C-alpha cells in the first residue's frame, strides 16, 4: 500500500519555526509506523530524527503523537491507517522539542525520581526472599508493566495546562503506586507526604486521557484514585 505522512519538523539549529513536511512511501500493511519512519529516513530524508530502541513496545523510546494521539510508533501498523489520508506525526506534547520528534525527557525523569522509585525498608532483609503472597503481588502487577514512555503524562490535560503544569503527572504516580502498594515496602508515611499535595496525587482531575493512551494497558486513573484513597485512609487513621 501507499501511505502518506505529514510530519512535524523542527531543527532549532537551522529553522526559525517548526513546519510540517509531507512524505509518501510504499508500505506493507503489516509494517509498523516505526518501519515507515525508518523508510522515510532511508529513502527520502535522512535528517528526520526520532528515538527508537526495542522496536516492539518494551523500551518506551518512541512515544509520539500519531493522528493526535500519543502512542508508540512501534505498536501501530500501516494497515490501521487509510491510504487516502495523511498520517499526522508530531512530537509528544508537554515536553520541549529538541529536534523533530525528539523531546527533552529530563523533566520527566526528574519527576519520576521525585516519588522515590525504590523499595524503602527498615527491617533488615531475611537470608532468602521477603515473602509476598500472590494476591499481594497482584495489587501492583499492572503497574510494573510501565515502560516510562511518557505517553500518559504528555496527554494529560492537567500537565498540558500552563497553570497546572507543576503536576508530577500520571507516569510518576504509577511508579508511586507500584511502591505504595508493594507489601514489602515500609515507606508509606514518607510516600504519602510526598503525594499528598496539589501537584501530587491531588493534581489529577480524573480525566482519563492517561488511561486511554497507555500502550501497556495500565489502569492509570484507577491507580491514581487508589493513591488518593490511601492518603485519605492514612489521615483518618491518624485522627
Partner 1 sequence: MNFKHDIVIVGAGLAGLRAAVECVEEADVAVVSKVLPTRSHSGAAQGGITASIGNEEEDHWEWHMFDTVKGSDYLADQDAVEIMVKDAPRVIYELEHMGVPFSRNKDGKIAQRNFGGHTSEYGKKPVKRACYASDRTGRVVLDTLYDQCLRHRVKFYQEHYVLSLVFEDKKCAGLITYDLSSGELNLIEARAVLLATGGCGRIFKTTSNGFASTGDGLNLAHRAGIPLMDMEFVQFHPTGLYPLGILVSEAARGEGGILRNSLGERFMERYAPTVKDLAARDVVSRAILTEVREGRSFEGGYVHLDLTHLGEKKIIERLWEITSFVRIYLGIDPVYEPIPVYPTCHYLMGGIPTDTDGRVLQDESDAIAQGLYAAGECACVSVHGANRLGCNSLLDTLVFGRRCGMAMKADISKIEHQPVSDEPLEKAKEMLAGLLYHKGYEKIDVVRRNMQSLMMDYCSVFRDEEGLKKELESIRSLKMRFNDVEIVDKGKNFNYELMEAIELGHQLDLAEVILLSALYRKESRGAHFREDFPVRDDTNFLKHTLVFKGQEVRYKPVVITRFQPEARVY
Which residues contact ligand SF4 by CB under 6 A? Answer: 146-152, 156, 158, 170-171, 174, 204-210, 214-216, 218, 220-221, 224
Q: Is 196 one of the binding residues for partner 1 (CB under 8 A)? A: no
Q: Is 238 one of the binding residues for partner 1 (CB under 8 A)? A: no
Find the binding residues for ligand FES in span 105-134 (CB under 6 A).
none
| Helix residue ranges per DSSP H, the chain | 33-43, 106-114, 134-141, 151-155, 157-160, 170-180, 188-195, 209-213, 220-238
> For the chain, what is the radius of gyration of the CA atoms?
20
Q: Is 186 one of the binding residues for partner 1 (CB under 8 A)? A: no
| DSSP per position, 106-144 | HHHHHHHHHT--S----SPP-SSPPP--HHHHHHHHGGG
The one-character DSSP state at 187 is: -
- Bridge partner residues of 73 (DSSP): none
Helix (H, G, I), strand (E, B) or coil at 65: strand
Q: Is 169 one of the binding residues for partner 1 (CB under 8 A)? A: no
* Residue 19: φ, ψ to 5°: -150, 175
209 binds, among partner 1, ligand FES, ligand SF4, none (CB under 5 to 8 A by kind): ligand SF4
151 binds, among ligand FES, partner 1, ligand SF4, none (CB under 5 to 8 A by kind): ligand SF4
Find the binding residues for ligand FES in span 47-76 (CB under 6 A).
52-55, 57-62, 72, 74
C-alpha span between 148 and 23 (Å, rounded):
30
Q: Is 38 one of the binding residues for ligand FES (CB under 6 A)? A: no
Residues that bind partner 1 (CB under 8 A): 11-14, 30, 32, 41-43, 45-47, 49, 51-61, 75, 77, 98-100, 102, 105, 113, 117-119, 121, 125, 127-134, 136-137, 140-141, 144-145, 147-148, 178-179, 182, 184-185, 217
Amino acid at each position: 500500500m501507499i501511505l502518506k505522512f505529514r510530519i512535524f519538523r523542527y531543527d532549532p539549529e537551522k529553522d526559525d519555526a517548526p513546519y510540517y513536511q509531507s512524505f509518501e512511501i510504499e508500505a506493507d500493511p503489516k509494517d509498523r509506523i516505526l518501519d515507515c519512519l525508518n523508510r522515510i529516513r532511508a529513502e527520502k530524508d535522512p535528517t528526520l530524527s526520532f528515538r527508537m530502541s526495542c522496536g516492539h513496545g518494551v523500551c518506551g523510546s518512541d512515544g509520539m503523537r500519531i493522528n493526535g494521539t500519543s502512542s508508540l510508533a512501534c505498536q501501530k501498523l500501516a494497515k490501521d491507517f487509510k491510504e487516502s489520508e495523511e498520517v499526522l506525526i508530531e512530537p509528544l506534547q508537554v515536553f520541549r522539542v529538541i529536534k523533530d520528534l525528539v523531546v527533552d525527557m529530563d523533566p520527566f525523569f526528574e519527576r519520576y525520581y521525585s516519588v522515590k522509585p525504590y523499595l524503602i525498608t527498615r527491617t533488615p532483609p531475611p537470608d532468602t526472599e521477603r515473602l509476598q503472597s500472590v494476591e499481594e503481588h497482584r495489587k501492583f502487577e499492572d503497574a510494573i508493566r510501565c515502560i516510562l514512555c511518557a505517553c500518559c503524562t504528555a496527554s494529560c490535560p492537567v500537565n498540558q495546562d500552563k497553570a497546572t503544569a507543576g503536576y508530577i503527572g500520571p507516569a510518576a504516580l504509577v511508579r508511586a503506586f507500584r511502591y505504595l502498594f508493594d507489601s514489602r515496602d515500609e515507606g508509606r508515611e514518607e510516600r504519602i507526604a510526598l503525594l499528598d499535595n496539589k501537584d501530587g496525587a491531588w493534581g489529577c482531575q480524573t480525566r482519563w486521557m492517561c488511561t486511554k493512551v497507555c500502550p501497556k494497558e495500565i489502569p492509570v486513573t484507577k491507580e491514581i484514585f487508589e493513591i488518593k484513597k490511601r492518603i485519605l485512609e492514612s489521615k483518618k487513621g491518624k485522627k
